[in-house]
Amino acid sequence: MIAVLKQIISASRRTDLPRWFLPEVMQWFGQGFVDVPNPFSGRISRVDLTPDAVHSIAWWSKDFSRWLKNAEYFDAYTNSFQFTINAEQGTFLEPGLSSSLEERIDQFHDLAGRYGANAINWRFDPIVFWNGGQENNLSKFDFIAGQLARAGIARMTFSFATWYGKCMKRAKRHNFAYSEPSADQKYQTLFKLAKLCENLGIEMHGCCNPDLENMGIPNVAMGRCIDGEVLSGLAGKGSTTQQDTGQREACRCTRSRDIGRYDFECKHGCLYCYANPRV
C-alpha cells in the first residue's frame, strides 16, 4: 500500500494572514478545516487543517508580532516562516508596515529562539529600482543581514520586482517611476550583496528570476521558498518534493495548499504587490 504524504499548508502568498487575519486563521484551525475559493474560477475547495492531515505550515508575513503572541495555538504543527524584511517602517514602497525595522528583527530572533533559524527563510523581496535605476531599496540590506546573521540565519531569498500590468497601473497612479534593471545592473548588485552574505554565512537564493541562473555569481543559486526537503528535516518526516505547478512558471517551490484569499485586504499597501487588488 502506498503511503499518502500529508499536505504542506501555505498561509499565505495571497495576503498577510499572520499580521491582518490571525483571528480568522485560528478559527479555521480550531474547526479543523477552511473553505478556500479558487482565485480564478471561484470554485470552493475544503482544506483539511487537522494535525493528521498537515505535514507543516509555511507562514508568510512582514510582521509576526500577533502570531508570536499566539504561537502556542499552533504547537501541534511543524511551523516554518517566510519572513520578508526589507524596509524601514513607513516608506513609500511599503507604507502600511505597522512595526519598526528593529521590532521586526526582534521578532526574527524570537522565532529563531523558539523554532531554530533553519525554520525561517529571510526574504528580501523584491529588490526595487526607480528614477532611472539611480535609487533602490537596498539601503538597509547590510544592517538587516548582519542582525539576522546573529540569529543564525543561513539562507535568504530575493527577487527583482516584476512589474505586472496592474503593478504598472498602480505605479502610474502613485507617480512612481520604477525602473527595470539591466542584466549588468543585476549582476553588479548581486555580486556585492552575495559577497556580503557569504562573509556572514548566508546563502542567497533567487526566486522566479531565471535570468540569473547563468550569471555565475558565487553564493547565488536559484531556490525555492517552500522547500519540501527543508520541511521534511524540520518535521522529522517525509514531505512531498514535487514542484508546485500552480505557481508562476519560474517558481520552483514545493507543492502546497494555500489557504489565503485575495479579497482579504492586506494593509501593508506595498506599491509593487502583485496580490492585493485594492492598493
Structure confidence at residue 94 (pLDDT): 93
pLDDT tens digit sequence for 227-248: 999 999 999 999 888 888 888 8
174-220 pLDDT per residue, tens: 999 999 999 999 999 999 999 999 999 999 999 988 788 778 999 99
Q: Is a pLDDT exceeding 50 seen at residue 1?
A: no
Residue 240 belongs to some domain of the structure: yes
C-alpha 63 chain-centroid distance? 11
The tens digit of pLDDT for each residue in 81-116 reads 999 999 888 899 999 998 999 999 999 999 999 999
Which pLDDT score is estimated for 44?
Answer: 96
Q: How many domains does the chain have?
A: 1
Please check whether residue 263 lies inside any domain of the structure.
Answer: no
In a domain, 269, yes or no: no
Structural domain includes residue 51: yes
202 domain-assigned: yes
Residue 173 inside a domain? The answer is no
Higher pLDDT residue, 28 or 278? 28
272 falls within a domain? no
In a domain, 70, yes or no: yes
Confidence (pLDDT) at 3: 55
Nearest Cα residue to 56 out of 219, 266, 255: 255
- Specify the residue for cell string 516608506: 91
Q: What would the mean pLDDT of 18-44 be, rounded to a whole number? A: 95
pLDDT beyond 90 at 49: yes
Predicted structure pTM score: 0.94
Q: Can you give the residue range of the structural domain that contains 153?
A: 7-126+137-160+182-258
277 has a pLDDT exceeding 70: no
**Calpha distance 219→7 (Å, rounded):** 31
